[in-house]
Amino acid sequence: MTTLLTVLLGCYLLGGLLPLCTSRPHLQNSLAHSSAAAGGSAGIALGLGGLFAAQPLTISVPSNIPYLTCALRLDPLAAFFVLTISLVGLAASMYAYGYVREFTGRVSVGLLGSLLNGFLLSMTLVVLADNGFFFLIVWEVMSLLSYVLVVTEHERRGVREAGLFYLIMTHAGTAFIILTFLLFAQESGSFSFEAFRHPDQRLPEGLRSIAFFTALIGFGAKAGIVPLHVWLPYAHPAAPSHISALMSGVMIKTAIYGLIRVYFDFLEGQFPWWWGFTVLSVGAVSALLGVMYALMEHDLKSLLAFSSVENVGIILLGIGAGMIFHTYGLDELAALGLLAGLYHTINHAAFKALLFLGAGSLLFATHTRNIEQYGGLLRRMPWTGLCFLIGAVSIAALPPTSGFVSEWLIFQSLFLSVQLPTLFLKLMLPIVAAILALTGALGLACFAKAFGLSFLAQPRSPQARHAVEVPVSMRIGMGFLATSCGLLGLAPMLVVPLLDRVTAPFTGVTISGKVLALDGWVVAPVTVEFSSISTPVLAALLVGAAGLGLAIARLLRKKTPARYSKTWGCGLPLTPRMEYTATGFVQPIKQVFETIYQPTVKLEQEFLEQSKYFIRHQRFHSTIEPLIEQYLYRPVVTALLGAAERLRVIQAGSLHLYLTYIFVTLVLLLLWAG
């Protein structure tokens, strides 16, 4: 494994340096993305090797800086996230080879490829870090590199504003992560993760609760939990699409890694029930609000960004349920909840990265992200359409896809709350399951809208009418992730044992033997008597039913000659103006949840001069007021700007006044020291 780790680090370092050593864009493109692809391949092998290793791989390089040791540790949890990062990194690297040609002449292809390799390297080092000081350094490098990638097209004002917003939010979260590690370091006297988890150096009860909240806020800001999610719909659409796939697919998962590392490793899973309930509640709110706002978006990448908020919430539902069960000593159920959350983590990484790459392909072909200007693209871009459809049905959790398996396991873990000794939790977990069911229904509507309005019917713009399929390398990247989605859904007998190796050290039990039945062909929540399902058999039945239907249709067609006629449109020729718009598609849902959306409608009409009864032009504007931005962030920003305005008086531009400030400060310090 040491060799694989060396290859991984070497490939990413070469990919970061070699493109800067030449001025030929094609060679820069090849060097950067072939190195990144090689690093991703080595990372997949390293992640799988770490999951099967008998002992964690540890590497430590001391430094002259106090408290800092460049320590790496590949245990099962780190190996799982290395595998996830590398899986998406490999696909994004293959896709980027064709995609970045769009930036030639506008952006340095060599610099963009170099930053991609640095970004992948920093994310990998984040999950491998075994020292708090070193972790914070690579975490900050990851944040800064992602910021630079977000503002790739910095000549556009909206991109610069999105980058600044992201930078502020990520550094606010980092401040809380620093506070979390300082609490552990104060008690242990070291920034070593081994010292953090040492049983003789546990935090006092009060500090443990503070560490719980600071970790939730710090890592939650990066993960995009509500109400810290506001940067996602700004930053993800602004970044190049292969970077959006990495940010949404795996960067926000480093925050999930951080939460699990702190709660189950550093705090050793010893926590009160309300910690798990808090995580569960945050997850439920994030899942529901995320999908509700995703439904209203017409910008495809903004829609996918809000959907990431939803899916992070779903992941937290599994983790929160596992924490609650672990509190009451129900270790098998705790392992089930944690395993389901991790299963959805890798599933979301695959299908969300696939959808972002699909959105990038539509942007590449049409030069717009507006769903209203798509339509009829399945005929013109069949490969992209097929891959996007696989991602859409996976994220909508339709059986037998990957999203269905992980969400089904989360449902089952919530329903098993009947084994909890507390009546309150027995009632609340099924309510959370109902919220998850509502989230799933809204998610299905959301991606029916995204796929249907983009790929079906007639083109609604000249760009869509003249779109062509994307280059081969982009199709290979999407195809790789589409295949991964299929394997994750149809082969749980391969995935569950790997995840069991991750959860076992934290829960003390292995459950793959109970979750899998009939040699792995059936998935069951600990006991097959409670509930069970087989996605391979379900897939076979669906394929068989479809094949039977086609056979019957072909047989009937032989007996009855086919007749072709135009679709009836009330006697009028069908035009794109007759199609459902994105606004019309979600209008009923907007009315049902009007209290949350608070829509504002503006109608402008221009009448003919001859008569006020005949309208010449009519314009309809409908906007949604984001409640969290309106009632939380705007008052805070207004207060900060007001305070800054009042404090401007002390910055008078007078050198004598500044010297007075220094003199008064020194006097006060001397008095305090004396």
Asked whether residue 584 carries a pLDDT value surpassing 90, the answer given is: no
Best CA proximity match to 407, nearest among 527, 318, 333, 482? 318
Place of tokens 């000659």: 561
The answer to whether 384 touches 470, Cβ cutoff 8 Å, is yes
Query: Judging by beta carbons within 10 Å of its beta carbon (0-12, 13-18, 19+), is residue 60 exposed, middle or buried?
Result: middle
What average pLDDT does the segment 2-22 reach?
93
Q: Give CA separation, 352 vs 230, 279, 580, in Å.
A: 18, 23, 25
The answer to whether 407 touches 436, Cβ cutoff 8 Å, is yes
What is the sign of the dihedral through the CA atoms of 295, 297, 298 and 304?
Answer: negative
Cis, peptide link before residue 66, omega less than 30° from 0: no
Share of residues in the chain with pLDDT > 70 (%): 99
Asked whether residue 138 carries a pLDDT value surpassing 90, the answer given is: yes
Higher pLDDT, 632 or 616: 632
Q: Under 8 Å CB-to-CB from 345, ≥6 apart: which residues?
A: 84, 253, 256, 315
What average pLDDT does the segment 354-374 reach?
94
d(CA 224, CA 669): 42
- pLDDT of 527 reads 66
Count CA within 13 A, CB hemisphere, residue 601.
Answer: 7
Best CA proximity match to 225, nearest among 147, 304, 303, 280? 280
Q: What is the pLDDT of residues 57-116, one digit of tens each?
A: 999 888 888 888 899 999 999 999 999 999 999 999 999 999 998 888 788 899 999 999
Q: What are phi and psi of 598, to 5 degrees?
A: 50, 60
**Where residue 364 falls among pLDDT bands split at 50, 70, 90?**
very high
Least reliable range by pLDDT among 45-49, 138-142, 179-183, 556-560: 556-560
- Cβ atoms within 10 Å, residue 600: 10
Asked whether residue 526 carries a pLDDT value surpassing 80, the answer given is: no
- pLDDT of 270 reads 83
- Please give the structure tokens belonging to residue 123: 């994310």
Residue 17 amino acid letter: L
Least reliable range by pLDDT among 287-291, 381-385, 404-408, 652-656: 652-656
**Where residue 524 falls among pLDDT bands split at 50, 70, 90?**
confident
What average pLDDT does the segment 27-54 reach?
94
Asked whether residue 674 carries a pLDDT value surpassing 70, the answer given is: no
d(CA 380, CA 138): 43
- Cβ atoms within 10 Å, residue 639: 10
The answer to whether 536 touches 516, Cβ cutoff 8 Å, is no
Asked whether residue 528 carries a pLDDT value surpassing 60, the answer given is: no
Per DSSP, the residues of 37-56 read HHHHHHHHHHHHHHHH-SS-
Question: Residue 62: beta bridge partners?
Answer: 69
- pLDDT of 621 reads 74
Residue 287 amino acid letter: A
- pLDDT of 448 reads 94
**Where residue 188 falls among pLDDT bands split at 50, 70, 90?**
confident
- pLDDT of 557 reads 77
- pLDDT of 200 reads 66
d(CA 311, CA 135): 25
- pLDDT of 112 reads 93
- Please give the structure tokens belonging to residue 318: 């599994």
Q: What is the pLDDT of residues 280-293, one digit of tens each?
A: 999 999 999 999 99
Cis, peptide link before residue 227, omega less than 30° from 0: yes
Best CA proximity match to 412, nearest among 266, 508, 527? 527
> What is the CA 166 to chain-centroid distance, rounded?
15
Q: What is the pLDDT of residues 396-437, one digit of tens each?
A: 999 889 999 999 999 999 998 888 999 999 999 999 999 999
Q: What is the pLDDT of residues 191-222, one digit of tens each?
A: 999 988 876 667 888 889 999 999 999 999 99
Count CA within 13 A, CB hemisphere, residue 355.
Answer: 32
Higher pLDDT, 313 or 628: 313
The answer to whether 396 touches 444, Cβ cutoff 8 Å, is yes
Domain ranges in the chain are 284-489, 629-673
- pLDDT of 623 reads 79
Q: What is the pLDDT of residues 477-490, one digit of tens each?
A: 999 999 999 999 99
- Cβ atoms within 10 Å, residue 330: 21
Which helix (H) or strand (E) segment is 620 a member of?
strand 615-624
DSSP 633: I
- pLDDT of 445 reads 94
Which helix (H) or strand (E) segment is 356 a member of?
helix 331-366
Q: Under 8 Å CB-to-CB from 562, ≥6 apart: which residues?
A: none
Average pLDDT taken over every residue of the chain? 90
Which helix (H) or strand (E) segment is 61 a member of?
strand 57-62
